[in-house]
Amino acid sequence: MSPSPCTSSIIGTGSYVPERVLTNDDLSKIVDTSDEWITTRTGIKERRIAAADEATSDMATKAALRALEAANMKAEDIELIIVATVTPDMFFPSTACIVQKKLGAANAVCFDISAACSGFLYALQVARNFINTGTRGTALVIGAEKLSSLINWKDRNTCVLFGDAAGAVVLKRVCEGEADAPGRVLSTVMGSDGNLVDLLKVPGGGSACPITAENAESRPNTIHMEGRETFKHAVTRMSQAAEQALELAGLQKSDINMVIPHQANARIISAIADRLGLPEDKTFMNLQKYGNTSAATIPVALDEANREGRIKRGDVLLLVAFGGGFTWASTVLRW
């Protein structure tokens, strides 16, 4: 089969983090922990916490506006909006529809994707399929989370890990003969293993376990995680997905200029780099500032790397993530 003359390219990136900074020392006043304990085990030094009146859609909208500005596009130019989140403003309507309203993106089709920390890469693949088939020409792909709304602040094993943020990209259909665009999506890989659903979850709040007066005290609508097992599966699946995406793109590990991994734990990131045989300077990490922001980590990191000049035209970027579900995904870009 001959390759399509049209491809999907990221032509703009944007991100937003809330103003409030919650440091490890701040957390030590809430639970039995310390800066040394958190830093040694996770690499996280601080995280951002959204204001009480700041919803996921608010953060998503701010990130989207910055991505649109970078792409030199208007909201009405967007034909598709996908928001990856596990912390929607409400069960329905979708957060994407709320973002559409706030942006004034009247011509967009909108929906959410729930794939936890892999959500942004899942959404990127879905948007790419729409664009490559010609169904849509432009898309806003957003990863946004207000994880502070799901945290049990008495559980030191989880409350130290998570933060709030949003990141976005503008994806556009670019065909042969048109001006070259950065951020060409070369390949994508996705996977899931529902047998591992109990290792990382928010068990309450849905139809299986509604919040009631009887169970509210046990906080079932907060994050529950089996850390050691999650770590083990994350390293294995992310490494496999990275290698598969490189193979699909016809590239070798040595072709990688930068890995932008899901920002969950410094040890996981180091393990991925080791398996790929890459030095630290080819791995982008900002979790020390923001913690784990789930679906937002990769688009926020991509935007930072882009705006800081850490990536240049022609670079090969490997994006890779792992999340509850379990889900995993990887994408190779030619910047």
- Better-scored residue on pLDDT, 290 or 219: 290
Q: Where are the chain's structural domains? A: 6-175, 184-334
pLDDT tens for 249-286 read: 999 999 999 999 999 999 999 999 999 999 988 999 99
Q: Which of 224, 262, 286, 306 is catalytic?
A: 262
pLDDT tens for 65-88 read: 999 999 999 999 999 999 999 999
Task: Supply the pLDDT for residue 1.
Answer: 38
**Count of residues making up the chain:** 335
Q: Across the strands, what pairs with 332?
A: 187, 318
Is the pLDDT at 12 greater than 60? The verdict is yes
Question: Is 265 annotated as catalytic?
Answer: no
The architecture that CATH gives domain 184-334 is 3-Layer(aba) Sandwich (3.40)
Query: Residue 3 carries which DSSP code?
Result: P
pLDDT tens for 110-157 read: 999 999 999 999 999 999 999 999 899 999 999 999 999 999 999 999
User: Are β-strands 46-49 and 138-146 bridged in parallel, bridged antiparallel, or unpaired?
Assistant: unpaired
Give me Rg for the CA atoms of the chain. Answer: 19
Q: Which two tokens stand for residue 236?
A: 């294995």
Strands, E assignment, 235-289: 258-261
Is the pLDDT at 180 greater than 70? The verdict is no
Residues 6+ apart with CB under 8 A from 314: 334, 335
**Helix (H), strand (E), coil (C) string for 134-153:** CCCCEEEEEEEEEHHHHCCC
Residues 6+ apart with CB under 8 A from 201: 223, 224, 225, 324
Q: Packing angle between helix 35-42 and helix 266-276, nearest 10 degrees?
A: 20
pTM confidence score: 0.95
CATH class of 6-175: alpha beta
Q: Packing angle between helix 266-276 and helix 227-249, nearest 10 degrees?
A: 40
Question: Is 221 annotated as catalytic?
Answer: no
Question: Is 209 annotated as catalytic?
Answer: no
Please choose, from the candidates 284, 8, 31, the residue with its C-alpha nearest in 3D space to the C-alpha of residue 151.
31
Mind giving me the DSSP string for 75-96? Answer: GGG--EEEEE-SS-SSSSS-HH
**Intrachain domains 6-175 and 184-334 with the same fold:** yes
Q: Which of 97, 110, 117, 159 is catalytic?
A: 117
Q: Which of 24, 265, 286, 292 is catalytic?
A: 292
Q: Which CB contacts under 8 angstroms, 24+ apart, belong to 16-19?
A: 16/59, 16/62, 16/63, 16/66, 16/165, 16/166, 16/167, 17/48, 17/163, 17/164, 17/165, 17/166, 17/290, 17/300, 18/48, 18/49, 18/50, 18/51, 18/54, 18/59, 18/164, 18/165, 19/48, 19/51
